[in-house]
Amino acid sequence: MERPRALISVWDKTGIEGLATSLNSMDWEIISTGGTASKLRDAGIEVTDVSEVTGHPEVFDGRVKTLHPAVHGGILVRRDSDDDMHTLSDLGYAGIDLVCVNLYPFEETAAREPPASDQELIEMIDIGGPTMVRSAAKNHADVIIVTAPEQYEPVLRALSESNGRPSGVGLEMRRELALSAFQSTAAYDSSVYNELSSRYSEKTIPSRIHVSSGEGRELRYGENPHQPASFFPASGAPSGLSAAVQHGGKPLSYNNYLDLDAALRLARSLKQTCDFANHSCVVIKHTNPCGASVADSQVSAWENALASDPESAFGCVIAFDQVVGKETAEAIGKHFFECMIAPGYEPEALDLLAESKNRRMLALEPLGEYSEEPTIRQVQGGWLSQAQGPPSIDWENARSVTTRSLDAEGLKLARFGISVIAEVQSNAIILVSKTGSGFATVGIGPGQTSRVEAVRIASRRAGDRAKGAMMVSDAFFPFRDSIDTSNEIGISSVVQPGGSIRDDEVIEAANEFGMAMLFTGTRLFRH
């Protein structure tokens, strides 16, 4: 029987000496390339250079080395086809029974800071590697395809149980390895397209969507216990929630991730749009803000955010835009929250927060910016994509439409309110007020089919705090009834996009009640 042959050519050389040594001990011939061959020889392993197999040297700084019929014929030949085997023999080639390949680190290079040059990135686009992987995966019935170090042990174990014969790796394992291989090349190609598209194309929304992710993390369950769920981190360097370090508590759930995402978006938005404040705090429940505040101190930001709706804040998710201090942890005390995310925690603060069971504290340093980027959302039969980021308001051209105008402090309050309402499910109304140390929500009416009902809900939650507050709407008022209702609870000013056919009617009502009304010109629906 001919010696089985393995072709090994890897960028990530973790565990490669052990793999090759074990194959050698089972009388496998090792074929290799470039740096991999050198490393194996340094470890005392007998290696045949791929140039000996092809009869051609590696050229163009290694751009071409395995793209040859001697390699791909050996991989793709069908062992159960006499014609294939005769052709292979006539050509003077031999079969390759195992291919171990992992790819150039394109994603890592793309994520580098400072950014890699276009040329550096281009050279990290692997050609021969994916071609061999796809060839071996296509012919997995005859060829064992290995693409990750964690696969070495189970493959070697299967081979050792058959005295080194390739047939020891059964069809089920071969299929699993092939699927993993196709997954790796698909993710790789998506990463290349996505990165080059971001560099070369001016389109905000691409003409096709290609999603690439890291290994999925199985979650306990989805939105409900009967729904299986996983979290898939974006490929490349960890970012956002995938980069956050968890302290304490059980693993995050599907709903935790959704609420943390909402908290992180708003915290980032407030940090950018309310740069006149030192601290911000966000309280999220079921992906909606139930309280938000910007303030001179972190303790005040927390207390004012909680005061917005302390009942709804039971079992909430909290976000801070600065490192959480001991005093803030003391102020939070025994308040029941599920998760918290912040740039970090003072050691004493973390100790205090961890005293209550099952709290999860996530650190994300730096918190990062809320930048406009395409988002993807699945619907039945396809996907929707849109650009999403913080509210883009041209404040220079926002116009006062009533007799009474907002002063400088009122405009700051409007900026705060707009940042919050952009993250509230529509139809939405929020009430915001000046506090002793900054600004805060005092009533939030999210996700209503009727805008006036959203006003009523926000007013009920605000109670007496509605007097003198500003009302912010994510869309125009179709009728004056919302203004009439807001007057009954003491609202002093209104911020809205404008654009209704009844704008004149709505403005007239505001003037009648002595309210200031500002048109931003930008609708902020969130469905």
407-428 confidence digits (pLDDT tens): 999 999 999 999 999 999 999 9
Instruction: Tell me which long-range contacts 50-59 makes (C-beta under 8 A, separation of at least 24).
Output: 50/7, 50/9, 58/33, 58/34
Measured N-to-C along each axis, helices 128-138 and 171-200 cross at an angle, to the nearest 10 degrees, of 150
Active-site residue, 138 included: yes
- From the list 13, 56, 138, 247, the catalytic residue is 138
**What's the pLDDT score for residue 1?**
57
Query: For the segment 216-236, what is each residue's pLDDT rounded down to a tens digit?
Result: 999 999 999 999 999 999 887
Mean pLDDT across 122-137: 94
Phi, psi dihedrals of residue 132, rounded to the nearest 5°: -65, -40
d(CA 339, CA 361): 6
Confidence class for position 202, pLDDT limits 50, 70, 90: confident
Q: Where in the chain is the domain with CATH 3.40.140.20?
A: 243-363, 393-519
pTM higher than 0.75 for the full model? Answer: yes
* Long-range contacts from 186-195, C-beta under 8 angstroms, 24+ separation: 186/212, 187/212, 187/213, 187/235, 188/103, 188/106, 188/126, 188/130, 188/212, 189/130, 190/235, 191/106, 191/107, 191/110, 191/235, 191/236, 192/106, 192/125, 195/106, 195/110, 195/121
Q: Which CATH superfamily is domain 393-519 in?
A: AICAR transformylase, duplication domain (3.40.140.20)
Identify whether 140 is a catalytic site residue. Answer: no
Annotated catalytic residue, options 56, 286, 326, 434: 286
Query: How many other CB atoms sit within 10 Å of the CB of residue 32?
Result: 24
Q: Which pLDDT does position 112 carry in this prediction? A: 86
Structure-token pair, residue 330: 């003391």
For residue 515, what pLDDT is reported? 97
Q: In the predicted model, what is the mean pLDDT of the chain? A: 94
> Which whole number is the average pLDDT over 475-492?
96
- Structure confidence by residue, pLDDT tens digits, 236-266: 778 899 999 999 999 999 999 999 999 999 9
Class of domain 5-200: alpha beta
**375-398 average pLDDT score:** 92
In the structure, what pLDDT confidence band is assigned to residue 294 with cuts at 50, 70 and 90? very high
**If pLDDT is split at 50, 70 and 90, which confidence band does 85 have?**
very high
Amino acid sitting at position 391: P
Q: Among 389, 472, 386, which Cα is nearest to 429's?
A: 472
Question: 145 phi and psi, to 5 degrees?
Answer: -110, 125
Peptide bond into 366 cis (omega under 30): yes
For residues 270 and 525, what is the distance between their CA atoms, to the nearest angstrom? 18
Residue ranges of the chain assigned to CATH 3.40.50.1380: 5-200
Architecture of domain 243-363: 3-Layer(aba) Sandwich (3.40)
**Once rounded to an integer, what is the mean pLDDT over residues 358-386?**
92
Question: Strand, helix or coil at 178?
Answer: helix
DSSP structural state of residue 66: S
